[in-house]
Structure 1
């Protein structure tokens, strides 16, 4: 068992008794190929929750400051995280994310860019559409249906993949694709209210 799998089982063991995960839609999740998971963002626990509920290992961008912490610096890369400079156009992080997707792996992002203060889905940044179009990957929308309350069920719902090739063929814009992704996340939220 590698460190990622060990950490996944450890985090599952710690969080599942508290939040009693109700995971839906895993049958939609492609077993192979590059996948971009796009999820709503309601809590700081969202990245580990997506990481432990997705059926394949997930890579995440993490703010660069976390990699300056002595304990986290050697650990985060082993947990499939890589640094991104926030507020800047970080070309190295963009290249790394595209390489992950083109290499047939899974990347998780939160298109809103920050946590929702009221639990409602916010506007998605065009980066989601950019990665979906340029990363040669399809998109799996994901809805985290909160709130996070101890000993109450927390739903994590994976939707059917959004096939990106038709959007690439007609040269759709990153903004248009992001809008499609956000609509699908909203549908999952609407259809799975707590």
Structure 2
């Protein structure tokens, strides 16, 4: 019985804080100032993010900076998935929770993370997901996994595609460099009430998401080089 209670408490400890926590409120303006003044970031398409209602921010992933960059660029608090292992690291785990992250177990079914995502969206919150499932080592956009499409279909949330360009070079060759964050128009997934979502439909949604992200990456590339 004690072991079960310990597991429940441990899981509860990994739940995201209700934002904005005081740590988030203190650090976010400083981080935004750093990205704007030191890195000279270029954030485009913020008007495409709905000001209310459930939203999924779906982005490519090329740098460990990406969750922080997207989370600071969006005017609404964004809850990101993060590896369970990170939550077990002292200080880092607390920071992740204060910044609204929630854990996902790598190598598992991901059912808990899926359930938590839908719960947050049911509360009209914003979650941040990387459809590729992992960081791209080459910088090119990889194949999209079905998770984002499944969550969107089940929750009815709008999906805002994001293209990150040059975030892999935020700090390179001894200096901080500019990058672009480009938000596209929201995608709305229409499914009938009680309709069973086929694997073909999920694949179609996934392809649509990845195409939209690719378009935003290209927008970022053009504006970065302009």
TM-score, normalised by the number of residues in structure 1: 0.91
CA apart distance, 1:28: 1.1
CA apart distance, 1:49: 0.2
Residue in structure 1 matched with residue 6 of structure 2 by the alignment? none
Residue in structure 2 matched with residue 179 of structure 1 by the alignment? 207
Distance 1:185 1:61 in 2: 19
Distance 1:192 1:78 in 2: 30
Distance 1:18 1:174 in 2: 41
Q: Does 1:157 align with 2:182?
A: yes
Unaligned runs of 5+ in 1: none
Q: Does 1:39 align with 2:23?
A: no
Q: Does 1:12 align with 2:32?
A: yes
TM-score, normalised by the number of residues in structure 2: 0.79
Q: 1:50 aligns with which of 60, 65, 70?
A: 70
Distance 2:163 2:93 in 1: 30
Cα RMSD (Å): 1.8
CA apart distance, 1:164: 1.4
Q: 2:80 aligns with which of 55, 60, 74?
A: 60
If you compute each CA radius of gyration, which structure gives the higher value, 1 or 2?
2
How big is each residue's C-alpha offset from its partner over 1:23-79, in whole Å with a ceiling of 9 and x where there is no partner?
000111100000000001111100000000011100011101111112233332221
Q: How does 1:79-94 map to 2 (within 5 A)?
A: 79-94=99-114
Unaligned runs of 5+ in 2: 1-19
- Moved >6 Å (runs of 4+): none
* Equivalences, count: 192
CA apart distance, 1:126: 0.6
